[in-house]
Structure 1
Amino acid sequence: MKLFYKKLFAFILIVIFIFTALVIPGCSFGNKQNVEKDNKSLLSGISISEPKPIYNLKNEISKELKGIDKELSDLFSAPDDYEELPPNSTELIEKALNEGKINKEKAAVYKIFSNYDPERLPAEYRSNEPVDTAQYDIRYLIDNWESLSEETRNQVTPYLIPLDDPHSFFYPGNKKQNKNSVSGLKIFNEALAAEEDYKVNVEEFTHDGQKFKILYYEEKNWAAEKKQSLKATVSYIKESIIYSWDKFRPLMGIKPSKPFIIELVKFAERLYGLEWYEDGNYRIRINILYANNEKLNKSTIAHELFHAFQDEMKIGYNTIDEKWLCEATAVWAENYVYPDYNLEHAWHPRFFRTLDKARIGSGKGFEYLSYMFFYYLTDYARVNFIREIIKTAGQSGSKSIRPFLEKNTPKLKETYATFALYNWNWPPVDKYYDNGKITGGPSGKCFKKKIMKVDEEDEVSVSLNPGALMYYLYIFDQKDPTLQHVTITFEKSIADDKYLKRQAILRINGNWVVEDWSSETVKQYCKAKTDKNEDIQALVLIYSNANLKDELKEADKFRVETGKCYKEMQLNLTFEYNYSVPGFEWKSKGNLIENLEIKDHCYYVVKSSSYNFGGEGFIDGKKVVETSGSASFAINNPDIYNSLVRILKKPSDNTEELKDAYEKYGIKENIPPQGILITVPALLEGVVFKGYTVFSFPEPIGTINLSEPLPLDGISQVIAVTPDLNDWNAKGINMSMEVDVFNHKCPIQGAFTVDFNKMAEQLDNIGNVPGIGNGIKLPDSQEMKDALSFLKENNMENLFNLGNQGGAKELSSLNAINAIKNAMIPGKIPSKGSAKLRITVDGVYKKYHGE
């Protein structure tokens, strides 16, 4: 539709009704105070209406955060939900359109009213909330002009024609005097003001072969300062056109091919500019409310001029994808041209609180704040395909945008995951810097938070919109010293997923680290570890969906659990030992009650021990030896050097501090995950073994009573056993087994180099009597020495030398001792014989770290 006909429709309307048109109410652009106020509001991020955070009462939050350090308190203070504000006029109109109450044509008319003349809106579409731009509705009406109703053309024409046309809504000679309603349609009377009261100014210039015309008006009674403000604004516009043009042309590889008409007019607050193409001209409008704001005026021109470059590449505007791409790249262009202005930072609060939404969308400024995606790509991922994606969208249409992003984003999954990581924007990934630090971080529905207390559990099912990001913050109660265990369990590994990524940011012992947890199913931490490499204080789980087309429903499930960390175990070990060879049998039983201190979950060292046993030896059913003994000790600060390890589990990943300790045991290979239970009694240096032994020697010696025990218990030669995984439970360890001593494969032999003779020496109450027989170890008591001297004097030494165990027809009492000794220290196994050890172990956790 030619502009002439549009003017004609407007003129006929005016003549028929003989009404007056409107003139712009008094403008505030010349008021320096107001300009500064507007600029301050913009730079402080109040360019759009913000939802209200509803994160409880302030004093309740303070109470919850009491005892938590400032860094974590700041993180936790980010609101995780919002009270949605009332819908703006744009949303009310869209809702009516979607419900079929109005058609698209009527919706476009109403949106133009909302931008320029909100009082003309029907009451049900009015709102005090800032509106969205109507520039795409203007484009729709212009492109479909011939099919529009006459009523629609008459309604919108005054808002489309330039302000230097006397029939323009913005023409300064028109003043709003009264309003009438005819059949529900508001009609305006027209009264032309005297021409000497105002002046329409036109400034024209040419750049790079293209013509530009800037239109604005001034009233003659305005103060000189006010007039100067307008001239300054025009100067800013011209400077920005030239500067931005010269930036965009090499970037885009083309230039707009039609002249520009640029107008300074008044429209809705917090709308800064509009752009469209009509009748051979690119049209740009700048909101006169923000005149004389140099940075805002220049940045707005850069934005709107970039739209013209987009139009030249024939990009559409009807779909969400096209609007998203147009506005996101236009805001990006502001930053590209004026990187140090940072006006686009005003979008950051809303950007960080809408990361859970589909990455491609529009409404309430979402398409504008999405510039951050392209900012990340160009400035951090070092990928700039701005020209290519706009060209592709212009040639192939809206449906090409998402496939283009998926195909042309290098290592899509990883790149998008890094985008998610950088959007945390707190240590250790506070990397965003745009001529000044970009502030803010995830909030709203994309951000979930919880302070975990001891013995608590939180289970989460994760679903992600197309291109959405989610952040889950857990702070582990710093006030409760008993909270020492943290376990995070995932439903599955997602390492092979094409789009989904799971990352973790952790604060460990005051230091932040980043880890990829996509392949993990279980992560466990113990804050009680001595090297503090598992002192987890906070955890942020980040999920990213690089699929811009499809929602991922129930993409993952995870559970975070906290618990206490056991420091000590009360252990009760009982045993029965039966050793039998032809003609000789030894039976013993005993009990070991100990308090074990748990060191770094890896080894349970004896803190205190109470040990007792009793044994009897029989030759052909006749008791020839009987013994009983006990020992006890306690150590205030036991460790692997000054006590005995009772239970040894798989070492922690960081064994550097335990290197010497494990070398003492000669580590050679991994310990079974269920651990090793060492059976040898903890007879440490200086421990006194009290008890008695009775020998029944042949006459003339007879019975000898010794005031010391012969600790031939049966458990010492076993050295160690491996519990079954089922032997462990939440309360400790409970196991029962029978060991075939002669065929037992001691797990220590596989994991340690062990001096078994040293183990025997640990039973230090078995003395060595050199020169007697084969140097058999016997109780080194005066009674035994007297008996041995008697045997020697009476030529009865052969009692010591009846051959290897099992090799003699009959065994004397001393040979019984010899046989027991050989059974205690693995060596030659008798050809006929057996040795069975029954062990029952009951270990119960009794103390926690932090108590």
Structure 2
Amino acid sequence: MKKRPYWLIGVVAAVIFLLVLFWPRNVVDDSTGTESSSDIKAEYDAAVKEQQQIVMPKKDSLDIIDDLYKKDKITEEQYLMLSIQASYDHDNLDPKYKGERPKRYDNSYLLRHLRLKFDTLSPDAQDALRPFILMPDDPGSYWYFGQKKMSILERLSIVPGVTAMDNPTKTGDKYTVTNNFGDAFNGKAALMKTALDEAYEKYRLLGMKEPKDWVAVYIHDLSASGDMGEEMFGMSNGTSRCVILIDKKNEGNVLKSVVAHELFHCFQEYIPLKSYTNEKWMWESTAVWAEEFVYPTHDTEHVYADYMFSTLGSDLLDDSQGRDYSSYLWWFYVYQKDGKTGTAVKTALDDAGSKGMKQALKDRKGIYDEIKEYALWNLNNDPFRYYSDAGKFPDKQPLMDTNLLVGDDQKTVNVNMGAGGMIYNHYFLHSSIDKIKFDLSTTNKNIDPGIGVQIVYRIGKTWFYEDVSDREELVFCRTRPPEKVDEIYLIVSNSDLDSSINTDFRIDTSGKCKPEWSGFTMYQWDHSFSKSVSDQVISKEQSAFASFSDRGYMISRDTLIYDDEADRFILKDQRITYRYETSTSVDYGRGCSFIWERDSSSTWGSDFIKYDDEDSAPIRMVVSKDDPLAYDVREHALKDPKNFLNYKSYAGWYKVPCDPFDGMQSGPPILYEQKDQSMVSGYGEGFNHDITANMSSDGKRISGSGTGMRVIDDLNIPVDIVVDYYYG
């Protein structure tokens, strides 16, 4: 690994690869705010109305047939026959297998399954299905231009088309493009060639194995199936090659994205995946992601967002109801987390090729935290929007249970989610609630190591986040302004990819809180900048660019005990949430040699700590020497932060070998990555500050704010600090 250039620490930018995770929003808003019951009811009604607009996708005929096959209710041969008919002759499909008419992007995975299992089929089935594995220039092929599409299950003879094929246009040694529709489609053929060039180069530079032979690409009429494109291996004279069919109705950016999608399938063929008969999720979800990878401003991948946001509670690897396509969202998340280099997706595909799709995901470092974080990202609601897109990311929210909670009530909430699934509960709190307690004793990480529990809540205009996965209960005393919660999202996730979870938690709004001091101290910082470093790069690329970022926050929600002898406040207990991220990057803006370098690290965690010994409990505030109604705020370090803090780092570079004479690429790309995930022993740098909080005239509130400083090498990073405690 090359050492980080010495100047990187001083070169700082808004790092496009640093994730804006878990940041509390509007934290400087001093208004605890109070909302009337009518305001809360109006917000609740609006949220319910929004949820009513979410439509769950219905199962189509292919879903029904897939389900029967997975349950061994039909044979593999029956599965292939029925699936082909459902796709290309739906009107004549037996009614007992009928659902919604399939509206798939393509049937590439089905056609691959057919090709791989063709030799095991009965002679009658082979006769019926052979037209679907022949090259489009074979008169016996279903795909032959001008072919009359007849029912394969009736085994009618295939009548050769009478329209001669134009001579295909060879594009280098990589692919041919054939246009059978005359001069009117020459523009589309040219656009397809452009897309093939652009996508092929992106996949090659990503380090994917290239197709061994040229790819045959056709403009085609796919109206019978409604597919946008198809990819398959066509058979011809005992040999086969990758074939792409692009429906003639596709236009503009959609046309280019469909080409990128289907070409990615060709590259997938050469990994190859561990199994092509039960890993459709991996096959299609990564191909939809490839549309974003090649054309980040087209936004064609987001057409599947509705399917995903309405089915997040299902198994992560569920491939029904369009989830094989809509699960591109998982790879969109992984891609962004990886700094949008694409290497994480490529590595996942390679791993799936060697050990299978599910095992590849289970072996990912930190999969528990990834799925939990993915669940938070998918809340996708202001102010918790984390997805960044060169185009426009969809304004979608998960399907969730929305309720208006009232005082003096108790309820049990069922938590039923698939393997790798996540569920969302949304609550508005009526003014009649003095105290709300969430009993999580049967829904926490200690009960089931796969469970993650996160809470996002609003007090007045300020939003807060806590990871409460290890907690058995969560309590808010709404009679205290710093805890007067108006709105709550409770997110439960399951990182176990083998087993579903069916449990519950309980909500109690009948209690009252005893008067005591409580509130929070919050630290938040965000420092980043960038500049050109062309003058510091030997080859003097004008586009060489470096960036650095350091950001984080720590929130401690405390219950305090007043020590009247020393006129100070000590901690009785605290709920603490911490996150710190730093990143450096260099992009050299060149076609070969070193392309980029990255370094990043994250430290994060949440915990609840109770201090039983007042003599050794940390001091939060002590009376000021200058003013008896003011208190100096103390910073303290936890005794054993390693018990709850996690650490993850990444270092890597990407290099394309150069010929020393002509400066052109001279070998396959090289990716070096070093990843680490381990526990850490402390917070790192502290917060140097001199903050004083003032007591209100009625003696029931102590609050203040100011700026501290983090010192890293020669950088002084400002830290915003807010303190707010209340007696009640």
Equivalent position to 1:205, from 170, 175, 183: 170
Cα deviation, 1:13-54, whole Å, max 9, x if unaligned, reads xxxxxxxxxxxxxxxxxxxxxxxxxxxxxxxxxxxxxxxxxx
Partner of 1:546: 495
Equivalent position to 2:140, from 167, 184, 189: 167
Q: Say if 1:82 and 1:421 are closer, same or farther in 2 by CA, change over 3 A.
A: closer
1:527 aligns with 2:486: no
Assess if the C-alpha contact under 8 Å between 2:271 and 2:349 holds in 1: yes
Assess if the C-alpha contact under 8 Å between 2:229 and 2:258 holds in 1: yes
Equivalent position to 1:137, from 91, 110, 113: 110
Question: Secondary structure, in 3 states, of the residue corresponding to 2:363?
Answer: helix
Question: Secondary structure, in 3 states, of the residue corresponding to 1:541?
Answer: strand
Letter in 2 for 1:514: Y
Question: Secondary structure, in 3 states, of the residue corresponding to 2:296?
Answer: coil
Equivalent position to 1:326, from 283, 297, 315: 283
State the 1:455 CA deviation. Answer: 1.6
Q: Hey, what's the Cα distance between the residues in 2 that align with 1:506 and 1:255?
A: 49
Assess if the C-alpha contact under 8 Å between 2:476 and 2:484 holds in 1: yes
Matches within 5 A, 1:96-107: 97=69, 102-107=74-79
1:491 aligns with 2:448: no
Cα deviation, 1:610-654, whole Å, max 9, x if unaligned, reads xxxxxxxxxxxxxxxxxxxxxxxxxxxxxxxxxxxxxxxx43346
State the 1:120 CA deviation. Answer: 4.8
Partner of 1:113: 85
Question: Secondary structure, in 3 states, of the residue corresponding to 2:483?
Answer: coil
State the 1:144 CA deviation. Answer: 3.2
Assess if the C-alpha contact under 8 Å between 1:453 and 1:562 holds in 2: yes
Q: Hey, what's the Cα distance between the residues in 1 that align with 2:520 and 2:113?
A: 66
Assess if the C-alpha contact under 8 Å between 1:87 and 1:129 holds in 2: no
State the 1:188 CA deviation. Answer: 5.3
Q: Say if 1:239 and 1:359 are closer, same or farther in 2 by CA, change over 3 A.
A: same
Question: Secondary structure, in 3 states, of the residue corresponding to 1:290?
Answer: coil
Cα deviation, 1:81-139, whole Å, max 9, x if unaligned, reads 98866642213433554676653223212322333333453454455522555433322
Q: Say if 1:289 and 1:68 are closer, same or farther in 2 by CA, change over 3 A.
A: farther
Letter in 1 for 2:518: S
State the 1:165 CA deviation. Answer: 3.1
Q: Say if 1:153 and 1:407 are closer, same or farther in 2 by CA, change over 3 A.
A: closer
Letter in 2 for 1:156: L
Q: Hey, what's the Cα distance between the residues in 1 that align with 2:440 and 2:161?
A: 74
Question: Secondary structure, in 3 states, of the residue corresponding to 1:218?
Answer: coil
Equivalent position to 1:466, from 372, 397, 419: 419
Q: Say if 1:99 and 1:519 are closer, same or farther in 2 by CA, change over 3 A.
A: closer
Q: Say if 1:111 and 1:131 are closer, same or farther in 2 by CA, change over 3 A.
A: farther
Partner of 2:336: 379
Letter in 2 for 1:482: S
Q: Hey, what's the Cα distance between the residues in 1 that align with 2:242 and 2:487?
A: 53
State the 1:366 CA deviation. Answer: 0.8
Structure of greater relative contact order (alpha carbons < 8 Å, 6+ residues apart): 2
Partner of 2:532: none
Partner of 2:305: 348
State the 1:463 CA deviation. Answer: 4.1
Residue range with higher mean Cα deviation, 456-465 or 65-74: 65-74
Matches within 5 A, 1:596-635: 601-602=514-515
Q: Say if 1:71 and 1:233 are closer, same or farther in 2 by CA, change over 3 A.
A: farther
State the 1:387 CA deviation. Answer: 2.4
Q: Say if 1:436 and 1:97 are closer, same or farther in 2 by CA, change over 3 A.
A: closer
Q: Hey, what's the Cα distance between the residues in 1 that align with 2:285 and 2:305?
A: 13
Partner of 2:194: 239
State the 1:371 CA deviation. Answer: 1.4
User: For structure 1, which runs of at least 5 residues remain unmatched after alignment?
Assistant: 1-64, 220-226, 567-600, 603-649, 674-752, 754-851
Q: Hey, what's the Cα distance between the residues in 1 that align with 2:323 and 2:69?
A: 20
Q: Hey, what's the Cα distance between the residues in 2 that align with 1:671 and 1:263?
A: 71
State the 1:272 CA deviation. Answer: 1.5
Question: Secondary structure, in 3 states, of the residue corresponding to 1:200?
Answer: coil
Q: Hey, what's the Cα distance between the residues in 1 that align with 2:147 and 2:521?
A: 85
Q: Hey, what's the Cα distance between the residues in 2 that align with 1:552 and 1:128?
A: 29
Question: Secondary structure, in 3 states, of the residue corresponding to 2:40?
Answer: coil
State the 1:290 CA deviation. Answer: 2.4
Partner of 2:269: 311
Question: Secondary structure, in 3 states, of the residue corresponding to 1:537?
Answer: strand
Partner of 2:509: 562
Question: Secondary structure, in 3 states, of the residue corresponding to 1:519?
Answer: coil
Q: Hey, what's the Cα distance between the residues in 1 that align with 2:151 and 2:325?
A: 38
Greater gyration radius: 1
Q: Say if 1:110 and 1:273 are closer, same or farther in 2 by CA, change over 3 A.
A: same
Question: Secondary structure, in 3 states, of the residue corresponding to 1:417?
Answer: helix
Q: Hey, what's the Cα distance between the residues in 1 that align with 2:277 and 2:146?
A: 38
Partner of 2:452: 501
Letter in 2 for 1:275: E
Matches within 5 A, 1:356-367: 356-367=313-324
Identity %: 22
Assess if the C-alpha contact under 8 Å between 1:199 and 1:218 holds in 2: no
Partner of 1:644: none
1:393 aligns with 2:376: no
Q: Hey, what's the Cα distance between the residues in 2 that align with 1:665 and 1:173?
A: 95
Partner of 1:262: 217
Question: Secondary structure, in 3 states, of the residue corresponding to 1:111?
Answer: helix
Q: Say if 1:340 and 1:283 are closer, same or farther in 2 by CA, change over 3 A.
A: same
State the 1:551 CA deviation. Answer: 2.8
State the 1:231 CA deviation. Answer: 1.7
Question: Secondary structure, in 3 states, of the residue corresponding to 1:458?
Answer: strand
State the 1:232 CA deviation. Answer: 2.0
Cα deviation, 1:713-743, whole Å, max 9, x if unaligned, reads xxxxxxxxxxxxxxxxxxxxxxxxxxxxxxx
State the 1:420 CA deviation. Answer: 1.1
Assess if the C-alpha contact under 8 Å between 1:202 and 1:215 holds in 2: yes
Assess if the C-alpha contact under 8 Å between 1:416 and 1:546 holds in 2: yes
Assess if the C-alpha contact under 8 Å between 1:273 and 1:284 holds in 2: no
Partner of 2:230: 274
Equivalent position to 2:401, from 448, 453, 462: 448
Partner of 2:259: 301
Question: Secondary structure, in 3 states, of the residue corresponding to 2:482?
Answer: coil
Cα deviation, 1:210-269, whole Å, max 9, x if unaligned, reads 3x22233237xxxxxxx52x2222112111111001000121342111121122223345
Q: Say if 1:455 and 1:150 are closer, same or farther in 2 by CA, change over 3 A.
A: same
Question: Secondary structure, in 3 states, of the residue corresponding to 1:144?
Answer: helix
User: For structure 2, which runs of at least 5 residues remain unmatched after alignment?
Assistant: 1-36, 523-558, 574-622, 624-728
Partner of 1:536: 485
Equivalent position to 1:148, from 109, 121, 124: 121
Q: Hey, what's the Cα distance between the residues in 2 that align with 1:262 and 1:190?
A: 23
State the 1:303 CA deviation. Answer: 1.1
State the 1:189 CA deviation. Answer: 7.7
1:248 aligns with 2:203: yes
State the 1:438 CA deviation. Answer: 2.1
Q: Say if 1:459 and 1:284 are closer, same or farther in 2 by CA, change over 3 A.
A: same
Assess if the C-alpha contact under 8 Å between 2:56 and 2:311 holds in 1: no
Equivalent position to 1:476, from 416, 429, 450: 429
Partner of 1:290: 249
Matches within 5 A, 1:627-776: 650-653=516-519, 667=567
State the 1:564 CA deviation. Answer: 7.7
Q: Hey, what's the Cα distance between the residues in 1 that align with 2:361 and 2:59?
A: 32
Assess if the C-alpha contact under 8 Å between 2:145 and 2:220 holds in 1: no
Partner of 2:410: 457
Matches within 5 A, 1:22-101: 67-68=39-40, 73-79=45-51, 87-94=59-66, 97=69
Assess if the C-alpha contact under 8 Å between 2:438 and 2:473 holds in 1: yes
Count, aligned residues: 494
Residue range with higher mean Cα deviation, 282-291 or 664-673: 664-673
